[in-house]
Structure 1
Amino acid sequence: MPENPPTGPTAAEVMTELAGLEDPRIRAVNEKHGDDHGVNLTKLRALAKRLRTQPELARRLWSTDDTAARLLGILICRPKTFERDELDAMLRESRTPKVHDWLVNYVVKKNPHAEELRVAWTADPDPVVASAGWALTTERVAKKPAGLDLPGLLATVESEMKDAPDRLQWAMNHCLAQIGIEHPEHRARAIAIGERLGVLKDYPTPPGCTSPYAPVWITEIARRQQEKAAPGNA
């Protein structure tokens, strides 16, 4: 993605534009999920597309500690330019779920230090930091499982997920489901763990959506994959 010339907007000008996009109704909805901003994400992405990649502006927006500005900064940054310690500090500064999730998914996963951070974060005593490590582990389970101890991951989930804080529990549950979905040889054990623990069994799921309860999630996605792979459906 090409960069804008140095004559692009200043951080202050961008903050003014973000303030103009603030919608109290959107803020009220976001605050129910722990996010303190009122900017429509479609409009935020449109602004990022107009600004294009600007690493220095992205860092200045991050330094404002404003959620909408940090989300915008994530969208216009260059993920591979961040050092390991810089990303570690940024994750620990991520106060809201949306900033945390976008940082992990849009920046850390594309950074050369992702694996090193995955290992360190998964063992971190802070459950929010640990949830980022589990998110990165789930990514590896799906895309680069070679070298992962899948039985060991299942054992950890079985012993720790039930009593884990919400964000960490959610991340571990996602990893459990991904193991069951992507690795048929571990599917029965993953389903059995989910059934025994009962985590998210009663989670309210809208019609047409798949439940995050691991046994249901695994079974449904595996069924879809089998249907897609069946002769005549290619």
Structure 2
Amino acid sequence: MAGTAESAQRAEIEELLAELAALDEPKVRAVNEKHGDDHGVNLTKLRAVAKRLKTQQELAVGLWATDDTAAKLLALLICRPKAFGRDELDTMLRGARTPKVQDWLVNYVVKKSKHAEDLRLMWFSDPDPVVASAGWALTADRVVKQPEGLDLDGLLDEIEARMKEAPERLQWAMNSTLAHIGIEHPGRRARALAIGERLKVLEDYPTSPGCTSPYAPAWINEMVRRQTAS
């Protein structure tokens, strides 16, 4: 019976891979490749596939084991986040080499796991900047939701010393931490603004009309303005 179930799952995975391949759009792929992603599936269509499948942990594990980015994204949408162990999540992150897969893994799975804080501490100072960026992303989240126990001044010290020269994905996560400290913690807002203004990280990042710039001083000021206005 076990062999039959495994064969059925392999067949389902092959069918899903074929379905995802059929959804691949050259224009979407071209845009994604500019951001380091290697798939061309419209994410709205991908989410529709996930909605049809609903939560299926074993299938998610099987999809993740493929070497297909779209399949990994689908896996993250149908998995049970709390079913993964700490070491399993660590291994998954280190194998998630494209930005969208890493982003979804951290935001849709790790943040919902009881291992989130252990992994934040493990990843935060990892020599691999991609792994470290996940630790900083979790730190940015904690700055907002559970800042008690965090050394906010120490974080600002590290950001001030390292963000300017950090690799892109790590730099982005550090910048998010800087902005959230400035937004959520008025006593450190002036310093956060000063660091952002001095380093000028993402100052010239193209921003669509109506969207908030990721440049920390602009981001902080706009969010504080909204808080004051509400």
Q: Report the TM-score when normalising by structure 1.
A: 0.92
Which residue is 1:190 aligned to? 192
Cα deviations by residue, 1:189-234 (Å, 9 ceiling, x for unpaired): 1001111111111222222221111111101110111000xxxxxx
Distance 1:25 1:162 in 2: 33
85, 108, 111: which one aligns with 1:83: 85
Give the counterpart of 2:60 among 50, 58, 63: 58
Moved over 6 A (4+): 6-9
2:217 corresponds to: 215
**Count of residue pairs brought into register by the alignment:** 224
SS in 2 for 1:161: helix
Ranges in structure 2 where 5+ consecutive residues have no aligned partner: 1-5
Letter in 2 for 1:227: A
CA distance in 1, matches of 2:45, 2:205: 31
Q: Distance in 2 between matches of 1:72 and 1:171?
A: 24
Question: 1:167 maps to what in 2?
Answer: 169
State the distance in 2 between where 1:77 and 1:175 align: 28
1:32 to 24, 31, 34: 34
Deviates more, 1:208-217 or 1:109-118: 208-217
The one-letter code sitting in structure 1 at the alignment partner of 2:109 is V
Distance in 2 separating the partners of 1:198 and 1:166? 14
Distance in 2 between residues matched to 1:57 and 1:185, nearest whole Å: 48
**Structure 1 position 10 matched with structure 2 position 12:** yes
Counterpart CA distance in 2 for 1:22 and 1:211 is 30
CA distance in 1: counterparts of 2:32 and 2:217, whole angstroms: 29
Aligned partners of 2:40, 2:195: CA distance in 1, in Å?
Answer: 39
Quote the RMSD (CA, aligned, Å). Answer: 1.5
2:172 corresponds to 1:152: no
Superposed CA deviations along residues 125-181 of structure 1, whole A, max 9, x for unmatched, are 000100000000001001111111111111111111111111101110000000000
- Measured against aligned partners, the alpha-carbon deviations of 1:13-60 in whole angstroms (never above 9, x if no partner) come to 211211221212211111111111111100100110110000000010
Q: When the two structures are superposed, what TM-score results if normalisation uses the length of structure 2?
A: 0.94
Shift of 1:99: 0.4
Q: How far apart are the structure 2 equivalents of 1:30 and 1:74?
A: 18
Q: Partner amino acid for 1:109? A: K
Partner Cα distance (2:205, 2:55) in 1: 39
Alpha-carbon separation, structure 2, partners of 1:29 and 1:200: 20
Amino acid corresponding to residue 61 of structure 1 in structure 2: L
